[in-house]
Amino acid sequence: MRAAAANLTPVTLELGGKSPVLIGEHARFDYAVDSLLLGKTLNAGQTCIAPDYVLLPRGSEDAFIARARTRFGELYPDFANNRDYTSIISARHYERLERLADEAQAAGAQLHALGPRDATTRRFAPVIVTGAPARTQLMQEEIFGPLLPLVPYDSLDEALHYVNARPRPLALYLYADDARTVERVTRETVAGGMSVNETLMHIAAEGLPFGGVGPSGMGAYHGYEGFATFSQMKPVFMQARLNARRLIAPPYGKRVGMLIRAMLKF
């Protein structure tokens, strides 16, 4: 009985992960906060490429919180009645987000809410978190919601080490204008995709492949890479009329041995 080979169906696997934001030492700070806040509040942070945590120069945490609070009020005035901000998808997920915040606070973190939350409507305003220990679930799991931990750094080397010591993210966001920082972060990190001075928008660029790497997924789609991913290549080898195939056919002897040894030298 001959078993028929199964047809191969190309697939991509897009997972999530903790997508970092890195604010460079000489970035346009207010612009960076405003921009990443837009990315974090889209669908209340319930997107696979939402900013998950922010690496920022040590000492700028208070300025970040103040700017984020001001900007959030401008984006979503009268938050309790504002229909531009969505609810958390389910009561179960809402409770999960509350547990993440409560556990981090119990471990010593500080919570800085940008607005109220309401379990009845499942409206959960962003909460910036400072001082969250690395062991907390907030810093281990993909958040998929409006919690935003801040992680201060003292040097770019330290920030890069922090990112690279963790599983490969689906997205990485850098805010920097100096070419040296952009080049280093681009070259020395691995992520499914990267945006500079922006969040989320790389997924909308049809000419750029989109997908994960390692724990954040495999394969890519969009543009040429999407065509290549979902196409099954059929390799075809055509033998020339004059060829040396018979030189390696049995019976084997010294001649074949010499030929193989000669080939192994190259």
Domain ranges in the chain are 13-224
CATH class of 13-224: alpha beta
Residuewise pLDDT in 10s, the chain (266 residues): 344 445 677 778 878 889 999 999 999 999 999 999 999 999 999 999 999 999 999 999 999 999 999 999 999 999 999 999 999 999 999 999 999 999 999 999 999 999 999 999 999 999 999 999 999 999 999 999 999 999 999 999 999 999 999 999 999 999 999 999 999 999 999 999 999 999 999 998 888 888 888 888 888 888 888 888 888 888 999 999 999 888 778 888 887 888 888 878 86
Task: Check residue 249 and give its pLDDT.
Answer: 80
Task: Check residue 2 and give its pLDDT.
Answer: 42
d(CA 150, CA 60): 10
Q: Is residue 44 classed exposed, middle or buried when 0-12, 13-18 and 19+ CB atoms within 10 A define those classes? A: buried
From residue 253, give the alpha-carbon distance in Å to each of 189, 212, 248: 53, 51, 10
SS3 sequence of the chain = CCCCCCCCCCCCEECCCCCEEEECCCCCHHHHHHHHHHHHHHHHHCCCCCCCEEEEECCCHHHHHHHHHHHHHHHCCCHHHCCCCCCCCCHHHHHHHHHHHHHHHHCCCEEEECCCEECCCCEECCEEEECCCCCCHHHCCCCCCCEEEEEEECCHHHHHHHHHCCCCCCCEEEECCCHHHHHHHHHHCCCCCEEECCCCHHHHCCCCCECCCHHHEECCECHHHHHHHCCCCCCCCCCCCCCCHHHHCCCCCHHHHHHHHHHHCC
Q: Is residue 239 within 8 Å of 245, Cβ to Cβ? A: yes
Among candidate residues 14, 141, 142, 225, the one labeled active-site is 14
Among candidate residues 25, 48, 74, 198, the one labeled active-site is 48
- Catalytic annotation present for 14: yes
Task: Check residue 136 and give its pLDDT.
Answer: 98
d(CA 186, CA 189): 6
Task: Check residue 7 and give its pLDDT.
Answer: 62
- Catalytic annotation present for 183: no
d(CA 204, CA 201): 5
Q: Is residue 67 within 8 Å of 75, Cβ to Cβ? A: no
Identify residue 248 by its one-letter amino acid code. Answer: I
